[in-house]
Structure 1
């Protein structure tokens, strides 16, 4: 497989998928400055998360992020997310907030629902908070000795009480690729997806592997199709629970797809079928209507499909 050198990496833009636009200034230097964090706290905004990852929302299902002053006390065990226009943003378990504060938020929203209806900034900061909260919940003990972890640096570092090992937030890298034979797009579907739902091919990067090698391996393993070249386009944080999706366009041989263990089916679709799939309501995949239904508008998967269509002659 070759990697295209004729197409430079495209300039940064605000892509039409979730969890990218409006990212906070992470303000890393403040994570080791408890006095600075305490000074930010009264005017800070604080996302409150249930242990299942849902965010507290108001009666209109908008983000509920009270100030630190409304919560009282100081940052304590809250995770410092960063700054926006000088205002600090934190995340905290809803279970640790005063009952009266929690009672003021009657709704609970999962991240997918929030991304579909909240402003881009609100969804992006929720995604960051949820990914970190999930890491805290799943990494309470040291993988080296089994000792308990204390979370320091405003929630960004796990320190083992027993052996002193340091543990950092985990992000799993994965490729996602719109694979074409020149006129058709390769799509697959998983067994547990709603009927008629299809998407582009994705998979996790393995140790000692380049991203380009991952594209070729994953496409071959899942579909039996051989990739000849690929080009990186953009990335998307995908906190379900903690991945980074690295998006590619790829050119492949026109092999007959043969699915492996991970997919139920894989097929080539012409441009007309893909356009029709994009035009259908993405939430209607479990209906009895005919035709394919493609990925959610919040995902880089759908954006890659649209980019493939745009570059057709």
Structure 2
């Protein structure tokens, strides 16, 4: 029996687009191809239009726009996302659709969410509905949302406080006061599936819920990597701090960008003693429990009365489905 591995690529790690990093310093090339480029439009809540008839397909493409409809050349607020099938793709912030109606969709964790409908399109956000997109669209929107969040939160220089302007077609900012240049940041965070030491893959998994979550909503544990800390050290510290358990054999599973606003989730698995006593951190963890593989399988199928798992957009969902699919 081998240790379990991720059985699929996390939803927001999917991408087919060539990011074409070198073109960010090639204004003539990008400007010349702008009229034939496609635009991923994103509103202030990170929503983008998807054709309504394709939402239920599980592989819906984002409804991109023609660049020529916006301007004759790239606007200052446009960000270059890369090239796909010979076509340049950009992100452009837009106002949300005016006078639109709404429909109700599952926004993850079983929570129903009202989303705008405009003409034959529905406007979806990445966090709640990223798993509904096709591979190309998931990659485009993940990058677009990461850049949108970075520009929204970084409008002033961290050194002197002056306003910054966008350069390199959205991939850097230049301070108008001290000439400092800055690039999009990513904050590493670990997310760990802890199972017991029965067999290779354990018979039970440790799940917890935060105080702000509704009852029955549980997930694996996660936390940000601190300065000067290794990823494995962060796994051990976070589990100890949040539920009072010592873990061993931490091993890397995979990663997923999580641009809310600028994280990357680094997935791990670790082992602890079967039946270890759980001591939830006061104010941080509302409850922590051991669940069997049968419990998790039932929850995946929507057949468990006391357990609701993360939505499919999160790497936590992939980790739990992958663990539940193997034997101990």
What is the TM-score of this pair, normalised by structure 2?
Answer: 0.82
> How many angstroms does 1:14 deviate by?
8.5
1:249–1:308 CA contact under 8 A, matched in 2 = no
> How many angstroms does 1:116 deviate by?
3.6
Partner residue of 2:244 out of 212, 220, 224: 224
Q: 1:22 to 1:144 in 2, by over 3 A?
A: same
Higher relative contact order (CA 8 A, sep 6+): 2
| Ranges in structure 2 where 5+ consecutive residues have no aligned partner | 56-60, 97-117, 198-202
Query: C-alpha deviations, 1:19-48, integer Å up to 9, x for none?
Result: 222242111110011101112211111011
Match of 1:112 in 2: 127
> How many angstroms does 1:70 deviate by?
2.6
Match of 1:296 in 2: 311
> How many angstroms does 1:217 deviate by?
0.5
Q: 1:310 to 1:116 in 2, by over 3 A?
A: closer
Q: 1:113 to 1:213 in 2, by over 3 A?
A: closer
Asked if 1:87 corresponds to 2:87, the answer is yes
CA distance in 1, matches of 2:208, 2:52: 39
Match of 2:110 in 1: none
> How many angstroms does 1:109 deviate by?
1.9
Q: Secondary structure of 1:19's match?
A: helix
Asked if 1:22 corresponds to 2:42, the answer is no
1:14–1:20 CA contact under 8 A, matched in 2 = no
Q: 1:130 to 1:223 in 2, by over 3 A?
A: same
Match of 1:121 in 2: 136
Partner residue of 2:256 out of 226, 236, 241: 236
Q: What is the aligned length?
A: 293
Match of 1:44 in 2: 37
Match of 2:295 in 1: 273
CA distance in 2, matches of 1:14, 1:82: 28
2:83–2:89 CA contact under 8 A, matched in 1 = yes
Asked if 1:210 corresponds to 2:230, the answer is yes
* Between 52-61 and 36-45, the greater mean CA deviation after superposition: 52-61
* Between 128-137 and 269-278, the greater mean CA deviation after superposition: 269-278
Query: C-alpha deviations, 1:226-267, integer Å up to 9, x for none?
Result: 011211011011122221111111111342110113111111
* Between 246-255 and 78-87, the greater mean CA deviation after superposition: 246-255
| Ranges in structure 1 where 5+ consecutive residues have no aligned partner | 1-5, 97-102, 282-288
Q: Secondary structure of 2:22's match?
A: helix
2:7–2:322 CA contact under 8 A, matched in 1 = no
Q: 1:148 to 1:111 in 2, by over 3 A?
A: same
CA distance in 1, matches of 2:86, 2:64: 16
* Between 115-124 and 80-89, the greater mean CA deviation after superposition: 115-124
CA distance in 2, matches of 1:172, 1:16: 21
Partner residue of 1:133 out of 131, 148, 155: 148
